[in-house]
């Protein structure tokens, strides 16, 4: 980005919940997040000027290679979670109000699962994706991850990707500039320039060609 348009970015890599709080406080100029309901609420409340799709990937379920809950045979994401709950198989949740955590909670809610941590099998760790994956690896537990984080993760141990492909696991990333009417100090021009770059043919090429072990991590779909 700096080479293409001369814009030097100061990146804060946090979960969606924290990114939205930073945006509301005017501590950043724009956010790139992946929780549509939270994004729409952010714009509706006047904290952001608009939301714009940039790229997508998907969420996947990872777990022990032995798959004690049998989720590899599931037909839907909800069925996969029901199998985990019925088997009371160890499951690690990010528990951090991130986009991943929000999607996970909505899927659990759809099957009315009892996630009381006193049950022992469900563990909420209040951490980012890498730390949560490390915990799952150490416990040989199931976890929901975005595909890019899983492919990037180096400490897979006895874990494997076991379930993917349900449309309910679609994971859209969107760009939201912070509203200068609420926070006059935000760098509106730079935020607009970044949006123009993120939606350009140059960004499309970079996003669509980014791979790990021959597998694409993201798909450009800016509108």
What CATH number does residue 34 fall under? 3.40.190.10
pLDDT computed for residue 105 by the predictor:
93
pLDDT of residue 112: 85
| Residues 63 and 152 placed together within one structural domain of the fold | yes
114 plus 137 within the same structural domain: yes
Domain housing 117: 58-168
Residue 128 shares a structural domain with residue 67? yes
How confident is residue 138, by pLDDT bands cut at 50, 70 and 90? very high
On the question of pLDDT at 118 being above 90, the answer is no
**Could you read off the pLDDT of 75-88 as tens digits, one per residue?**
999 999 999 999 99
Looking at the structure, tell me whether residues 71 and 162 fall in a common domain.
yes
What percent of the chain is modeled with pLDDT above 90? 93
Q: Are residues 48 and 69 in the same domain?
A: no
Of 128, 150, 168, which residue sits at a domain end? 168
Q: Write out pLDDT tens, residues 144-173.
A: 999 999 999 999 999 999 999 999 999 999
Whether residues 190 and 158 share a domain: the answer is no
| Nearest residue to 59 (alpha-carbon basis) of 155, 138, 133, 170 | 170
Average pLDDT, the chain: 95
Number of domains present in the structure of the chain: 2
Is there a single domain that holds both residue 47 and residue 69?
A: no
CB atoms within 10 A of CB 109: 10
Say if residue 52 is in the same domain as residue 9. Answer: yes
Based on the domain organization, do 71 and 143 belong to the same domain?
A: yes
Strands 122-124 and 142-146: unpaired
Single residue among 148, 168, 188 that ends a domain in this structure = 168
* Domain end call among 129, 145, 168: 168
Output the CA–CA distances (angstroms, integers) from residue 42 to 38, 46, 56, 177, in the order listed: 6, 7, 20, 10
Pair 67, 163 in one domain: yes
107 and 207 fall within a common domain: no
Both 12 and 86 in a single domain? no
**% pLDDT > 70, the chain:** 100
Q: Find all residues with CB under 8 Å of 72, minimum gap 6, and list them.
A: 162, 163
């Amino acid at each position: 980005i700096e080479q293409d348009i001369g814009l030097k970015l100061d990146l804060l890599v946090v979960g969606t919940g924290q990114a939205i709080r930073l945006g509301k406080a005017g501590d950043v100029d724009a956010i790139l997040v992946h929780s549509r309901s939270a994004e729409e609420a952010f714009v509706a409340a006047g904290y952001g000027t608009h939301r714009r799709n940039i790229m997508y990937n998907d969420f996947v379920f990872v777990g022990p290679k032995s798959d004690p809950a049998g989720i590899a045979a599931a037909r839907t994401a909800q069925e996969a979670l029901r199998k985990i709950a019925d088997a009371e198989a160890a499951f690690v949740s990010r528990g951090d109000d991130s986009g991943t955590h929000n999607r996970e909670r909505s899927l659990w809610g759809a099957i009315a699962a009892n996630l009381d941590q006193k049950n022992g099998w469900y563990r909420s760790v209040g951490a980012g994706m890498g730390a949560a994956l490390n915990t799952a690896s150490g416990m040989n537990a199931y976890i929901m991850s975005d595909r890019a984080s899983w492919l990037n993760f180096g400490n897979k141990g006895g874990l494997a990707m076991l379930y993917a492909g349900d449309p309910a696991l679609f994971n859209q990333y969107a760009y939201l500039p912070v509203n200068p009417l609420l926070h006059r100090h935000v760098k509106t021009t730079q935020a607009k320039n970044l949006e123009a770059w993120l939606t350009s043919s140059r960004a499309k090429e970079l996003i669509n060609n980014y791979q790990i072990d021959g597998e694409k991590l993201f798909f450009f779909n800016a509108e």
